[in-house]
Structures are given as structure tokens and as C-alpha cells.
Chains A and B, each alone.
Chain A
Amino acid sequence: MVNLSISAQLVATLKATGVDFFVSVPCKLLAGQIRLLEQDTEVCYLPVTREEEGFGLCAGASLGGHMPCILMQDSGLGNSINALKSLIQFFQLPVVMLMSYRGSPGEPVPAQVPMGLLAPELLKLMQIPTLNCHQPGDLTEIRPLVEHARVTGSPVAIFIDFQLMEGDT
């Protein structure tokens, strides 16, 4: 997969782990993956209007026997805490959260920083296993993380940051 863009590697890796249902709230760090998913006929993909709504769709898809993934900014975590706690974690439903790590080094928008600083602590507090993808080699950790989500019936988070996505086409 070394010749593929990072976005293509991310989508291919998630699909290879059995993820077959995707929803998204956009981010410029997620633009490449969303473009690929829009053209992908092998999986179900649709945009949603807000992260909390997306977790509702993921819950329904999980009940329907699919493995869901939500593409979202880390700032959207703030919109989703009740949905994660009283729906996803309460019913122990596996969901992959592919999150752009906004507010981390490389961030040009100061207003993204406060939630960006809080997001890793928030995930820890919420007991959501998290993987930081900072360089391409880190993507090899995605498969065991998704398997962990399946085994434990838990949401898991994958952070993708500015350095990882630099030069992504």
C-alpha cells in the first residue's frame, strides 16, 4: 500500500478490517477519505449533519450487523458525549471514530485549539481506546484496534494529524 495516498490507505485499511458503513461530518483533513468513500460502491456511505446524529446512524447499522465508522473532527466529540455514553457505550456497540486531530501542531485556526487540547483527555475519561496516527507506519495499529472494538463492543478512536496528512492527495 506504500504507493497509495494516506487517505487511500486509511480507507483500504478500515475496509480490510470489515468496516462497511461510513458516515461523515467534514474536515479538510478528512476530505481525501470522503472523496474516496463517495465513489466507493462496496460500502454504505452517507454524510450526516452533526456528529450526534452520526452516532445514531452508527448504532442502527451496528444493530443491523454492520461495522460502522464515523469520520469527524475532534471538536465534534463535544457534540456527542451523551450519544456515546447513553447509546453507544450503554448498549456496547462497536463504532470506529476516525477523527481529525484539529488543534494539534500544524493547526492554523486558533479556535480549534481548546477542543483539540481537551479531546485526548476527554476520550481517556470516557474510556474510549485511542490510537494516534502521526506517521504512515502507525496505520498498522488500526487493524488490532478495530478488532478490539469488535471484541469489547466499544467505540474506538483513531486520531489523524496534520503531519500524517501532509501532502495527501
Chain B
Amino acid sequence: MNRYELIETLVPVLKDALVVCNIGIPSQELFSICDRENHFYMLGSMGLCSSIGLGLALTTNKSVVALEGDGALLMNLGTLATIGNRAPDNLILLVIDNGSYGSTGDQATYTSEATSLAVMARGGGCQSVIECSGEDTAGVLVDALGAKQPSVIISKVVPGNRPLPVVPLHPIVLRERFKKAIQM
């Protein structure tokens, strides 16, 4: 299973959550599979998906799913300490870990070698950390959404990207429709 096939299985589960999606091809794939007003496509600022998700989770009662990538998370590892100590119950950090910088030509990330994001998350203080296959991820996410605690899910998939255009939404349009989805 690759990222696109994983996102296809996640979309029904993400219907009622606020979704912050990693920059680049992950956002393009989510947008292509199912565009909804509760999706915030990052468009820029690689590495900050989990931080935007944490800021949002601290200021809303709705479930927030930060759909992050392994390469982007490696850019902002301090976030695992902040989340490990301060995340509210409504935050889920779901890392799609394909061991690859997919948007830039599939260069390998260190998670394809010795690095374990699950171990790093536990080391950061995160209590509920589950590493699972792409096939099992939707079920794990359902459980995490029902749990009264913050969760980190590391979903292991294989590299691979769909050739898709850039998300064609203007940032202000995207911001306003997402803010409306938060209030609904």
C-alpha cells in the first residue's frame, strides 16, 4: 500500500475531524481523492503540520488530525516534545511514513534506514504511540478518534506518488472555508 491508497481508506474516517494536511503531494492526493471544507492543505511551511494541528487542537473542542509525513516530521522533531507534554485529548498526529521525500523525487529519508519515529515520539513523552501497517491504519484511527487521549500513529507504507496538479485553492478561500468548518 502506498500513500494514495492509504489516504483513500482514511477519507471516510476523517469526515468529522479537522484535518491539517502536509504540504505537497500528500495534500494533492487528499484534494484529488476527496476535497472537503474540513481540510486545511498547508500549501507551504514544510514541517509545521503537527504544530498547526496542536495550536488548533488547543483552541477547539473538535477532533484534529494532523496528517504529517516522515520527512516533514524529521524537520521539526521538537514538536514531539511539545506534543508529548502539552497535547490535549483531541489531537491525533498521523504520520504517513513511506521512508521517502515523495514531493521532491523520492529521495530516501532516514526512516528507511535506522530511524524510528515511534521511538522518537515515545522519547518525546507521547503516551499513546502506535506503529502499524497502512492496511491497519484506518481501524487504528477510528479507535484513536474514540479515545479520550492524544495519539500518535505511525503508518508504514511504501513510496509512490500520483502525478497530480498543485492544489488550486487561493489561501484566503481555503482559510475562510476551514474557519467555517471549525465553527460548524
Instruction: Give bound CA distance, A66 to B182, whole Å.
Output: 12
When the two chains form the complex, which single residue of A55, A64, A87, A93 contacts B60, counting CB atoms closer than 8 Å?
A64
Q: Which chain A residue has the least Cβ–Cβ distance from B85?
A: A46
Q: Are B52 and A56 in contact (CB under 8 A)?
A: yes
Q: Is B40 in contact with A63, judged by CB distance below 8 angstroms?
A: yes
Cβ of A6 within 8 Å of any chain B Cβ, yes or no, is: no
Measured CB to CB, the residues of A under 8 A from B are 21, 44, 46-50, 52-66, 68, 82-83, 85-87, 90-93
Contact pick for A60, options B43, B52, B78, CB 8 Å:
B52
Contact of B51 with A57 in the complex, beta carbons under 8 Å: yes
Binding stretch for chain A, among B24-32, B105-113, B170-178 = B170-178
- For residue A21, which residues in chain B have a CB less than 8 angstroms away from its CB? 55, 58-59
Known contacts A60-B55, A64-B55, A90-B171: does B78 contact A55 (CB below 8 Å)?
no
Closest to A58 in B: B55
The count of residues in chain B whose C-beta lies closer than 8 Å to any C-beta of chain A is 34
What residues on B are CB-neighbors of A90 within 8 Å?
43-44, 171
Residues of B within 8 A of A62 (CB): 55
Residues on A with C-beta less than 8 A from B171 are 90-92
For B175, list chain A residues within 8 Å (CB): 63, 91-93
Q: A63-B175, A63-B178 are in contact. Are A56 and B59 (CB under 8 A)?
A: no
Residues of chain B whose beta carbon lies under 8 Å from any beta carbon of chain A:
20, 40, 42-45, 47-60, 76, 78-79, 81-82, 86, 171-172, 174-175, 178-179, 182-183
**In the complex the two chains form, is A60's CB within 8 Å of B51's CB?**
yes
Q: Is the CB of A87 within 8 A of B78?
A: no
Q: List 16 A-B contacts (CB under 8 A).
A: A21-B55, A49-B81, A49-B82, A53-B79, A57-B82, A59-B45, A60-B20, A60-B52, A60-B58, A60-B59, A61-B56, A63-B55, A63-B56, A82-B44, A87-B48, A90-B171
Given A52-B76, A65-B182, A83-B48: A60 touches B82 (CB 8 Å cut-off): no
Nearest opposing residue in chain B for A49, CB measure: B78
**Once the chains bind, are B51 and A53 in contact (CB under 8 Å)?**
yes
